[in-house]
Every structure is written in structure tokens, then in C-alpha cells.
Amino acid sequence: MSEVWKKYQEENKERFLNEMMDLLRIPSISAKSENKADMKQCAEAVKAALLASGCDKAAVMETGGHPAVYGEKIIDPSKPTVLVYGHYDVQPVEPLELWNTPPFEPTIRDGKVFARGSADDKGQFYMHVKALETMVHTNTMATNIKFIIEGEEEVGSPNLGAFVAAHKELLKADVILISDSSLLSMENPSLDTGVRGLSYIEVEVTAAARDLHSGTYGGAVANPIVILSKMIASCHDADNHITIPGFYEDVLEISADERELINKAPFNEQEYKDEIGIKELYGEKGFSTYERTGIRPTLELNGIWGGYTGEGAKTVLPAKATAKISARLVPNQSSEKITKLLLEHFRKIAPPCVDITAFEHHGGEPYGTPIDSKGYQAASKALETTFGKTPIPVKGGGSIPICSVLENELGIKIIFMGFGLDNDGLHSPNEKYNIENYYKGIETIPYFHKYFGE
Amino acid sequence: MSEVWKKYQEENKERFLNEMMDLLRIPSISAKSENKADMKQCAEAVKAALLASGCDKAAVMETGGHPAVYGEKIIDPSKPTVLVYGHYDVQPVEPLELWNTPPFEPTIRDGKVFARGSADDKGQFYMHVKALETMVHTNTMATNIKFIIEGEEEVGSPNLGAFVAAHKELLKADVILISDSSLLSMENPSLDTGVRGLSYIEVEVTAAARDLHSGTYGGAVANPIVILSKMIASCHDADNHITIPGFYEDVLEISADERELINKAPFNEQEYKDEIGIKELYGEKGFSTYERTGIRPTLELNGIWGGYTGEGAKTVLPAKATAKISARLVPNQSSEKITKLLLEHFRKIAPPCVDITAFEHHGGEPYGTPIDSKGYQAASKALETTFGKTPIPVKGGGSIPICSVLENELGIKIIFMGFGLDNDGLHSPNEKYNIENYYKGIETIPYFHKYFGE
């Protein structure tokens, strides 16, 4: 079977790449209202691709927010069904000036496709579309396949839960397969066994009714940037433990065995530092880098602004300062609970000289998948077949908020089979996806269906 | 004499106002390179106004930066000469969305002209132009008058020192008169006896070579916003004393008498708070509000930015974060020394996991003027004549960096005779200048020349 697949993919590889790049040209930024029409256009393009690649039916479906795209190829209702989840929406592209080529003009350099969404997640979910095409054209399908490609992952999937609840029969499947994560490396293939959860809040500190002259009022009126900085600074102690009371309350003790397994994954400190251009590792005392990103919750500042940020100097005492703050959560923590905790904490620690407006952005629950399940074993075998090595089970640091919702509504487990690399620059300028990884994914996915269908 | 002046000013008051508003229409923002042509146009407009108002000669003069405008009316070389200093450049206008009417479309509401530069300093220096016209047309000049109206005050007058040094003979005078400050109120006229100095730096904290995904790297890589916040937070202790070693070293002990004088100025806490919309007074422990803004040095955050600052949420771990930081200085402190101290301090307190780029913007030395000088006495008498009350001597909080330069180069004292109000919104959205104050200035200035010429 592998020869048939290989031949078909080899003959069509250029087209497979060009089709993916066409999808990258659509600026489907879900966070920005100005891109609403682009979102619609992208959803239609995904639907067309599903139909052209072998789905019997496909539809752009309303969700209350940006639409989701559904597609299916049912070969035999008695066979297992795999539900492929992906998302066609992408992150904002700022700061634009740091992109070497425009984010929505996909450019190939050095074997990589540079564009927003190349790895997260258009390039990755499109591997499944081309894997479907491979199996349909070679008449080798071993499972039924359903697709749910949503348009709100990057804003926390606020409508997908209700959508899934309303379409349980349509989405009925035996396992959910997601490619929206990374391999340790091409030499060290891996499978994520979970994702961290997310809480995300925005805090605005207002000290005065308007911007003031820093000479006339400086020294006599609270400076909101200083106040906000003090609030932020107070959230980590000298060991980088988070000091917010109750933050770690629900975090489970990790066994020595599990920590050992995590730390078995190959880690080259110098390569890690060089790849992202950092001078030193930095993080919570008492934990390794993989533990810090895999099994420990974190608190990050994602954005801050206030006062004059233009060219030159302005002697202003700003009226307000604002920060975007998020926490990554680990199993047994609740996004809802931590979000509430964060909102209350920032309201509480603000001094009486300022007003606080704090509200939440999207969150998502942490998620874990057992490695002894049929789905994980099928994925592990598929990677072993194409990489020649058993993949290492690892804890992913990122969040896919919809995971727990999908499992709860559909009652089935999720398998994370990502083909990205940590250096893909997700959410960053110059996001890229290696062409080699794209093809490797298309090559590997049919084996998952083969082993899962057995 | 007062009747002659009053009559002339009454007959021409509408034109006086319209001419000033025409000047406000030119977006002469010195900090922004895109406004270079506007700067030139504004300088030419000032020159034309000086000639039309009675100057014998006027010229737009190159300075190496934005041009300065010189003008003079010499009636008798044996009489005293007053050099009027002002500036035609203005502050940037961001945040634009907070302006009720466009900053360069002067609008009259409620007896006030709203526009950038209305109080700082176009409306204020133009009072001197119209006072000159009044005296010329009524043939009542008691002194020679020279004008130097510069175009770089809001960026720290980087070229005026050299310009003045190169034109000492041209600018030779007996006193310098500046209207670029405020009265306590119309009921409590006052004269500033000094201005604070300024040091201004920018600090950029870089933690990684590019923005990173906060899920993949969060917890394992330093967050530059957190690092910068901790650095900022460390600069003030719980009593709001500045903790930077050596910062207060050169600050002179203020005598109990002087502090008593400062605190004699009428201060209504509730009115002060209501006017700028603050909930509580805030500042250095052990000092009153007027002491905090008049005789104490301060450290302010003028701007901060880093990471994602757009709509919605982005789970980014930013590569860098930046802050604009300034200090107001009091007599005997040196701007150069404090700037160096600040730069070194921020470089020193940065942890080894980040790179620091710190550089200086413009600074200026603090300045004081004695109240027993002939100039101060003439100004005091002038205000007493038109306000019916002896003005209160006060310490101004703002900075006019060129003061010490002017005094050093020309060997004469500076008199601050400002007619603005603290609520004029200098450097803020909706800057305004009360029309009543504009006319009061034009009415008062001729008396200064009269008393100074006696």
C-alpha cells in the first residue's frame, strides 16, 4: 500500500504545495473584525478543497461567530470513523515590520513556506485533506473520515462548544485526530499526550481622567504605568514561583517516574537557546525546561501599553496603562476558576489611588490523553512506520481550548499528531512550515487510518 | 496710558484672537520628521506676524534643527532691552481618539480655544506679539523688545544653545521674559520663581531574538514585560521615595521658611482632585502636593509598550518591551549627571537573561530666579496692576530646558510670567487656553515693559 501512496503523492507533490499556499493567501485573522469577509472567503475555500479532495459532502456552517467547515467521506458505516479537527483562522500579524516577506504572500525560502498560518494551522490541517485525496484516489480508505475545520481557535473557540452540542450526530466518531502541535525534531519524532489550559485576562489601570503634564503633576499623582508595573512585578517571587494565593492549589503532584520520562526527551541547551536567541534559560526554580513548559502552570505578560509610545520624547503623565495577561494551566486546574482568581487578584492588589477594569478573554481547559489507547497506539505506529523510530510521548506547552469541550460533548478521546517544529514561529513574525514536514505529514496520516481501521 | 491700551485692545480683540487661532492651525510638531515642512511654514508665519505687529526686522534663522524666528523693535539703544523667549513648536497629539475636536482645528467652546499649542506655547508667546502691536500703535513703548521664538522646545532645544552662543550680540538684552507657565488661578495670580530640570531616557529590554509562542516557551524563557516591570517597580519604595542610589545626592535641604512659603499658596484638595479626575493624592511621603511638584525631584514613566496591544487576545511571549522614563530635577541637580545615573542604573539592574538598550532623549537643567530682582519686581507690579493682587511666588513643576543655557550664554536673568492654568491640558488631548487669560496677558505685558523701563 505504501508504494501506491508514495507514487500518488510524488506525482502530485507540487500541486499539494501550491494548494496549501493558496489557502495561506487569505488573511483569515479571526481576532479582527475588519477581516470578517476574509474569514468567510477562507471557509468557502476550505469547503471547496474538501469536495475537490474526495469528500462526499461538505458545508460552511454557521456557528454564531465565524463559520465552521464540515466535510465527510463515509465508506462504510460499520467501519471506525475518524474526526479530523483543525482551524482555518490565524493569529494577528503584528508587528508587521518584523516580517521579512508579507505574512499573506507565502514565500518559499530554504525549504520552508513563510506565511501566517503555514504551521498554525492551515498547513497542518491541509495535510489531512491531501491524505484523504491520496486514499480516495488510490481506493485505500480504511476508515470513515469527517472533518471539522473551525474559524475561531485563535480567539478561544467561543462558539464551537454549542455548535458541537447541536451537531452530535453529525460529528459522531470513534476518535478525534488533530495536527496542531510539534515534533521534538525530525530526528526525534514525538506525540503530544496533552495540552496546557489557558486563562487570559486584560487589566486596565486608570489613575486620572486624562493624560497630564508630567512636570505640572509629576510626583503628586499616581503614575498608572508604575502602579501596573508594581502589580505585575508582585506576581512572581525571586524563584519565579507565582505568588498569587491559590494559583497552584489544584496542581497535582507529578510522580518521580513521570518527571523522569519527561526529562528523557533529548534536550540540547545550547541549540535550544540559539534557536530562539536567548542568553539564558529562565524559569521556575526546581524544574527543567521541559517540565516548565509541560507540567507547570505559568503566568505570562502578552502585552502592555500606556502613555506615549511614538518617536522621540513626550513628557506626559498618562491617564492609564493596560496589560494582557495569561496563564497556562496543567491537568486538574480549571480555566474558569483560575480566570476568576486572576481577575479578583488584580482588582484586589490595586492601590486605592487607581481604578481597575479587568475582564477575561477566551480560556481553555487543560487536556490529557492516555498512551495506552487505540488511537495513541495507531498514531505511534504510523510515525514509527514513516520515521523509523517510536515517537516519544511529550507534554505540549500550548493550548487547544476546544479539547475538553470536544471530549465532553462527543465522549471520545483526542490524538495529537502534529508535524510542526518548535521553531516554526507560531504567533510570531515570519511563521513558517518546513515543506519536508508538510510532505511527511501527508505520508504519515494514511498509516494512522490504516492502523486505526484494523 | 492704560486707557489708550485698553481702547486699542478692545477695538482689535477679535482679530487678536483670530490671528492666534490661525497659528494654531499649523501642525508644528517638532518631534515628528513628517511635520518638517509644517515647522518651516509655522516659522514663516511667526516672522510675518512679528513684522505685521511692529517689529522693524524679523528673520527665520537656521539652527541646525528646526529654524528659530528672531524679531526686534529698537526704539532707543540707551533704553533697557527685553528679550521675549517663546516656542512655536508643539507636542505630539496622540492619543488622537481622545480629542473632542481635531487638535489642529482650533475650536471655541465655553470661552476656551481648544487646540494643540493653544497654551503651550503659541497662544502664550503670541500675547507678546499683540502687546508689542498695542504699544507700537499707541506709541507707548518704554523698552526695546527682541523676540526669539524657537522650534525645538518640545524636543529639548538641542540646537538653541549653540545658536545663542553664535548670536550673543544680536540677542543682547537686560532681561529674558517667558510666558510658558501657569497662574495658580485667576483669583490667585502667581509668578514662577523657577522650573524643574529634566532627564529623559528610553530603555528597551530584549529577551529573545523574536516573539515566541507563549504556550511553547512560556515558563522557560524570560518575559521582557515582567523583567521591565520588575525594574520599574524597584525604583520607588513603599513611601514613594526614589530608590536609585545617588539620585537625591545633590538635592539641597529646603529651609522651613521656604517650605512654609510654598504651603501658603491656596490649595483646595477636592478641587485639585476633581479637576484632573483622580481618586487620591499620591506621592512622596512627608511632602505636600506643592512640595512634591515644586521642590522635589521625581521619576515618571511616560510610556511603555511591548507584545500584543491590539484587539482581542494573542498568546505571544514578546521578544522585547520598552519604556520611556523621565526625571524632574530640582536646583543643584545636574541633568547630565542624573541622565547618566539613570542609564547606568537600568543597565545595572537588568538580569543577565536579557539585553538592555538604554539611551537618552533631551534633558534640561533646573532653574531658579530671585524675587528681589528688577525683572521680578516689574512682573509682580504688572500683575498687581491688572489683577488687583500681588502675585504669589511659586515653584513651577515643568521644565524649560533652555533656561540655564540662556542665562549662561547671555548673562541675564529669566522672568516667568505665564498666564496659563494648570488645567489647560498641556501635552494632553484637548489642550485649551482660556480666551480670558489670553486677553489678560495682552493687557498685562505692556505694564511689564513700562515698569521695567522706568
CB A71 within 8 A of CB A113: no
Residue type, A149: I
* Boundary (domain end) residue, out of A320, A338, A360: A360
Q: Is A293 on the interface with B (CB under 8 A)?
A: yes
We report the CATH number of the domain holding residue A381 as 3.40.630.10
Q: Are residues B20 and B163 in the same domain?
A: yes
Which residues share a beta bridge with A89?
A: none
Phi and psi at A250, nearest 5°, equal -95, 5
Three-state DSSP class for residue B80: coil
Q: Residue A299 above 90 pLDDT? A: yes
Q: What is the dihedral of CA A338, A343, A344, A347, to 10 degrees?
A: 160
* Angle at alpha carbon of residue A190, lines to A187 and A191, rounded to 5°: 160
With CA atoms as reference, report the closest residue to A157 among A78, A87, A77.
A87
Whether ipTM > 0.85 holds is no
C-alpha count within 13 angstroms, C-beta hemisphere, residue A259 = 12
Element (H, E) at B298: strand B298-307
Domain carrying residue A222: 197-251+297-360
Three cell numbers at A329?
Answer: 494551566
CATH number, domain at A328? 3.30.70.360
Q: Is residue B273 part of a domain?
A: no
Q: Are residues A211 and A163 in the same domain?
A: no
**B155 in A contact zone (CB under 8 Å):** yes
CB contact at 8 A, A227 and B304: no
Residue B271 exposed, middle or buried by CB count within 10 Å (0-12, 13-18, 19+): exposed
> How far, rounded to the nearest angstrom, does the alpha carbon of residue A104 sit from its chain's CA centroid?
19
Among B360, B376, B406, identify where a domain stops.
Answer: B360
Q: Are residues B56 and B189 in the same domain?
A: yes
Tell me, yes or no, whether A142 lies in a domain. Answer: yes
pLDDT digits (tens, 9 = 90+) for B353-371: 999 999 999 888 899 888 8
Confidence (pLDDT) at B128: 98
pLDDT tens per residue across span A69-86: 999 999 999 999 999 999
In whole angstroms, give the CA distance from residue B287 to residue A220. Answer: 9
Say yes or no: B333 and B349 in one domain.
Answer: yes
Q: Is A33 on the interface with B (CB under 8 A)?
A: yes
Residues B307 and B376 in one domain: no
| Amino acid identity at B163 | F
Angle, helices A2-24/A122-137, rounded to nearest 10 degrees = 140
Chain B hits for A293, CB-CB cut-off 8 Å, are 215-220
Contact A298 B218 (CB under 8 A): yes
Do the Cβ atoms of A226 and B217 come within 8 Å?
no
The helix/strand/coil state of B326 is strand
Check whether residue B221 and residue B173 sit in a common domain.
Answer: no
pLDDT of res. A385: 97
Count of residues for chain A?
Answer: 454
The candidate with the shortest Cα–Cα distance to A59, out of A71, A42, A75, A76, is A71
Q: What is the DSSP code (8-state) at residue B218?
A: B
Report angle CA A223, A226, A232 to the nearest 5 degrees: 140
Nearest chain B Cα distance for residue A143, angstroms: 32
B25-49 pLDDT per residue, tens: 999 999 999 999 999 999 999 999 9
Tell me which residues of chain A, numbers 82 to 101, contact chain B at a CB-CB cutoff of 8 Å.
91-92, 94-95, 98
* A51 pLDDT above the threshold of 80: yes
Residue range A285-311: mean pLDDT, rounded: 95
Other beta carbons within 10 angstroms of residue B257's beta carbon come to 8
In a domain, A169, yes or no: yes
Q: Are residues B338 and B443 in the same domain?
A: no
Examine the domain organization and report whether B135 and B124 are in the same domain.
yes
Residues A186 and A209 in one domain: no
Show which of A360, A382, A400 is a domain's final residue: A360
Domain count, chain B: 2
Q: Which of A97, A100, A211, A335 is best to mutate for the B interface (most B CBs within 10 A)? A: A211
A53 touches chain B (CB under 8 A): no
Could you tell me if B13 and B71 lie in one domain?
yes
In a domain, A266, yes or no: no
Q: In this predicted structure, what is the pLDDT of residue A161?
A: 92
- pLDDT per residue as tens digits for the range A323-371: 999 999 998 999 999 999 999 999 999 999 999 999 999 888 899 888 8
Are residue B6 and residue B68 in the same domain, yes or no?
A: yes
The pLDDT score that the predictor gives to residue B75 is: 97
Query: Any idea of the CA torsion for A230, B96, A36, A360, to the nearest 10 degrees?
Result: 20
- Report whether the peptide linkage leading into residue B121 is cis, meaning its omega lies within 30 degrees of zero: yes
Please give the Cα distance from A423 to B385 (Å, whole number): 74
Bond into A95 cis (ω within 30): yes
Ranges of chain B whose pLDDT falls below 50: none
Q: Does A432 touch chain B (CB under 8 A)?
A: no
Model confidence at A1: pLDDT above 70: no
B305 vs A: CB within 8 A: yes
Strand intervals (E) in B10-105 = 57-61, 68-73, 81-87
Return the minimum-mean-pLDDT range out of A99-113, A140-154, B387-401. B387-401
Residue type at position B362: H
Q: Do A91 and A26 lie in a common domain?
A: yes
Percent of all residues in chain A with a pLDDT value above 90, rounded to a whole number: 84
B236/A214 CB distance under 8 A: no
Asked if A32's CB is within 8 angstroms of B310's CB, the reply is: yes
Task: Give the pLDDT of residue B1.
Answer: 66
Residue A283 lies in a domain: no
Give the amino acid at B391: P
Which residues of chain A make contact with B427, given a CB cutoff of 8 A?
A: 211-214, 314-316
Q: What is the 3-state secondary structure (H, E, C) of chain A?
A: CHHHHHHHHHHHHHHHHHHHHHHHCCCCECCCHHHHHHHHHHHHHHHHHHHHCCCCEEEEECCCCCCEEEEEECCCCCCCEEEEEEECCECCCCCHHHCCCCCCCCEEECCEEECCCCCCCHHHHHHHHHHHHHHHHCCCCCCEEEEEEECCHHHCCCCHHHHHHHCHHHHCCCEEEECCCEECCCCCCEEECEECEEEEEEEEEECCCCCEEHHHHECCECCHHHHHHHHHHCCECCCCCECCCCCCCCCCCCCHHHHHHHHHCCCCHHHHHHHHCCCCCCCCCCCCHHHHHHCCCEEEEEEEEEECCCCCCCCEECCEEEEEEEEEECCCCCHHHHHHHHHHHHHHHCCCCCEEEEEECCCECCEECCCCCHHHHHHHHHHHHHHCCCCEEECCCCCCCHHHHHHHHHCCCEEECCCEEHHHCCCCCCCEEEHHHHHHHHHHHHHHHHHHHC
User: What does the alpha-carbon distance between residue B311 and residue B266 come to, in Å, rounded to a whole number?
Assistant: 45
Residue B259 included in any domain: no
Identify whether A256 is part of a domain.
Answer: no
**Residue A111 burial (CB count, 10 A):** 10
B312 contacts chain A (CB < 8 A): yes
Mean pLDDT across chain A: 95
Residue of A nearest to B269 (CA): A220
- Whether B268 maps to a domain, the answer reads no
Question: Which is more confident, B265 or A227?
Answer: A227
Alpha carbon of A29: minimum distance to chain B alpha carbons (Å)? 11
Among residues B366, B360, B364, B332, the alpha carbon closest in space to that of B345 is found at B360
Of A202, A283, A398, the CB nearest to B216: A398
Q: Is B38 helix (H, G, I), strand (E, B) or coil?
A: helix
